[in-house]
A and B are shown apart, each in its own frame.
Chain A
Amino acid sequence: MSIWTITQLTFREAARRKILLAALVLGALFLTVYALGFHLIMRNLEETFGYSNILELNQVRNFFLIAGLYVVNFLTSIMTVLTSVDTLSGEIHSGTIHTLVAKPLRRWEVILGKWLGFVGMITLYLLLMGGGVLLVVALRSGYIPPHPLRALSLMWLNCLILLSVSLAGGVNLSTLANGVLVFGLYGVAFLGGWIEQIGSMLPDAAASRAAVNIGIITSLLLPSEALWKRAAHEVESPLAAALGFTPFSARTYPSMAMIVYAGIYLLLVLWNAVRWFNRRDL
């Protein structure tokens, strides 16, 4: 029951500090801009090419859908880290943690309670934003991509991983150092992903392989970019993939093994967060 109390506290704090409101307002703004842009482009295409060239139209819709989800993925990642980065380090630093932990609860209940609170927020945010993008495309053009739920689930897994890393880092690091750590890892994974993407197009086989390896190693460090690539792959139309049509689509996409790895990664990070917090002198 203590877990639930902490979860509520986490949720309530985000609401009280207007974090939820800010996220919702900006989310609505994003969706509005996205819908408007998508509508204008579709109208222009329809006027220029008519409805005859369905094949081409489909690729355009698919491209905009993935572009939209790409931004959603980025925003939810940032939101996840920003909201959770100081939840432990901040409470430890200020001393508010003392009255909590001196209660009849176990420390893992504090971590898991907070984790669940953030998971709740992230899930809502992702459903709203990702679902919004899918809905905008579906309503305006009637297009529904191959596996939207799989894509959203992978984006969700990415957020859970970032959240867990940010909680684990917050046990022993200051808020600032923790932010540097999480965004640093995120940046490295991001860069590795693009090196892999571009490298895979190189004509030289050895260079291409080296680039792909860099991508794999950075994905092992933090599988966020790998999860996005797999998510993009799940919603990409097969033709666009074959043509290498968009910068967001993955020429090489991670296998099932990488997703399993990401799941294990998540559990290990969370387990370590609990272990470290148990040992932490407060």
Chain B
Amino acid sequence: MRAAIQTMQLSKKYGEKTAVKDLSLTVERGEVFGFLGPNGAGKTTSVKMLLNLITPSAGEGFILGEPLTNPQVRQKVGFLPEHFRFHDWLKAEEFLKLHADLYHIPREVTHRRIPELLDRVGLSQHAQKKLRNFSKGMLQRIGLAQALLNEPALVILDEPTSGLDPVGRRMVRDIIAELRQQGTSVFLNSHLLSEVEITCDRVAFIKQGEVVHISSLQTMLEAELRAELRVRDVSAEVLQGLEHWGKNIHLDGERLTLDLRQEEDLAEINRYLVNHAVKVYSLHIKHISLEDLFIQIVGSEGEV
């Protein structure tokens, strides 16, 4: 089976300004992929290229094995746009019916599916309410329901939790988890790192239109299992012995740091150091959050 998303050097230029440069990534089937970057980094432009809303200046891409320009492929794609602006004179149920029609979903399936989805996003009570009277969070929920109408193979969510309260965010997380269980691929555009940390298998960082880092979230965060110790009287010999447990060993005055393979080793290290007459004043694991990583990779300029 072909990858859910595959892009090769996908680029978008507006005149002189480069919005996205040489975007090359592969999202496997069933994978939840996080696309991270500061505001204005080119996340939404990338998503729009995937959906053929924007024509790339260069490069090519495939969704579920088909070229981006093939409209039929979007039969299997669900999309929640960033600003979730919808035809607000429609009632919630009518809105879903309209989009079910655009997906060419048979009427009898639609009749079953709409109440299910309204219930799933917690809007059953509001089926007959016009979208005009919806709050931002409710619009996001109905938008999400819309993106799931066709039981998609790939769901593309552009900032899916930006308008939601904590309950809504939990709901989105749960839905993403369910989608993963069903083998649905999810492409999640976000700057809310905690969301991504909880839900994604792999992440890509984008900065000023360029992907600067792609890796599995697990290896990325585990790779950053760093021990920090305050010690005195460490010989070079003892220092070398630490290589048994970790790498990147640095001693800076009393501050000793090293990257561990597993947290359990910390106790062993403690015993080893004490046995070798090293004075250990403190030792702890410094957990690196995605946020630290984000700042580290993308930089802290915080360009907006």
- The residues of A with any CB-CB pair to B shorter than 8 Å are 1-2, 5, 9, 13, 16-17, 94-96, 98-106, 279, 281-282
Contact present for A2 and B54 (CB under 8 Å): no
Contact present for A9 and B71 (CB under 8 Å): no
In chain A, what residue has the closest Cβ to B12? A281
Q: Which 5 A-B pairs have the closest CB atoms?
A: A103-B102, A95-B85, A104-B75, A98-B81, A102-B79
Rounded to whole Å, the gap between the CB of A165 and the closest CB of chain B is 24
Contact present for A282 and B48 (CB under 8 Å): yes
B52 cross-chain contacts in A, Cβ below 8 A: 101-102
Contact present for A98 and B89 (CB under 8 Å): no
Contact present for A281 and B102 (CB under 8 Å): no
**Does B99 sit within 8 A of A, measured CB to CB?**
yes
Inter-chain pairs besides A5-B101, A99-B143, A104-B103, 19 sampled, C-beta below 8 Å: A1-B101, A1-B104, A2-B104, A9-B87, A16-B89, A17-B89, A95-B85, A96-B85, A99-B86, A101-B51, A101-B52, A102-B74, A102-B77, A102-B81, A103-B103, A104-B71, A104-B72, A104-B74, A281-B48
In chain B, what residue has the closest Cβ to A2? B102
A101 cross-chain contacts in B, Cβ below 8 A: 51-53
Rounded to whole Å, the gap between the CB of B105 and the closest CB of chain A is 11
30 contacts between A and B (CB under 8 A): A1-B104, A2-B104, A5-B101, A5-B102, A9-B87, A9-B98, A13-B87, A13-B89, A17-B89, A94-B85, A95-B82, A96-B85, A96-B86, A98-B79, A98-B85, A99-B146, A101-B51, A102-B74, A102-B79, A102-B81, A103-B74, A103-B99, A104-B73, A104-B102, A104-B103, A105-B71, A106-B71, A281-B55, A282-B53, A282-B54
**Does B83 sit within 8 A of A, measured CB to CB?**
yes
A99 cross-chain contacts in B, Cβ below 8 A: 79, 81, 86, 99, 143, 146
- Given A106-B71, A281-B55, A282-B53, A100 contacting B85 (CB threshold 8 A): no
- Given A13-B89, A96-B86, A98-B81, A105 contacting B102 (CB threshold 8 A): yes
Q: Which one of B52, B73, B101 has the highest number of Cβ atoms from chain A below 10 Å of its Cβ?
A: B101
Contact present for A102 and B87 (CB under 8 Å): no
Rounded to whole Å, the gap between the CB of A146 and the closest CB of chain B is 44
B79 cross-chain contacts in A, Cβ below 8 A: 98-99, 102
Bound complex: CA A13 to CA B73 (Å): 28
Give the number of residues in B that approach A within 8 Å (Cβ atoms): 28
Bound complex: CA A98 to CA B51 (Å): 9
Q: Which one of B83, B89, B98 has the highest number of Cβ atoms from chain A below 10 Å of its Cβ?
A: B98
In chain B, what residue has the closest Cβ to A278? B55
A105 cross-chain contacts in B, Cβ below 8 A: 71, 102
**How many A-B residue pairs lie within 8 Å, measured between CB atoms?**
65
A94 cross-chain contacts in B, Cβ below 8 A: 85
Bound complex: CA A98 to CA B82 (Å): 10
- Which residues of B from 30 to 77 have beta carbons under 8 Å from A? 48, 51-55, 71-75, 77
Bound complex: CA A195 to CA B71 (Å): 50
B146 cross-chain contacts in A, Cβ below 8 A: 99
- Given A101-B53, A279-B55, A281-B55, A96 contacting B87 (CB threshold 8 A): yes
A13 cross-chain contacts in B, Cβ below 8 A: 87, 89
Bound complex: CA A17 to CA B90 (Å): 10
Bound complex: CA A104 to CA B79 (Å): 12
Rounded to whole Å, the gap between the CB of A102 and the closest CB of chain B is 4
Contact present for A5 and B98 (CB under 8 Å): yes
In chain A, what residue has the closest Cβ to B97? A5
A2 cross-chain contacts in B, Cβ below 8 A: 102, 104
A281 cross-chain contacts in B, Cβ below 8 A: 48, 53-55
Contact present for B102 and A100 (CB under 8 Å): yes
B89 cross-chain contacts in A, Cβ below 8 A: 13, 16-17
Rounded to whole Å, the gap between the CB of B5 and the closest CB of chain A is 14
Q: Which residue of B83, B98, B102 is within 8 Å of A95 (Cβ)?
A: B83
Bound complex: CA A2 to CA B103 (Å): 9
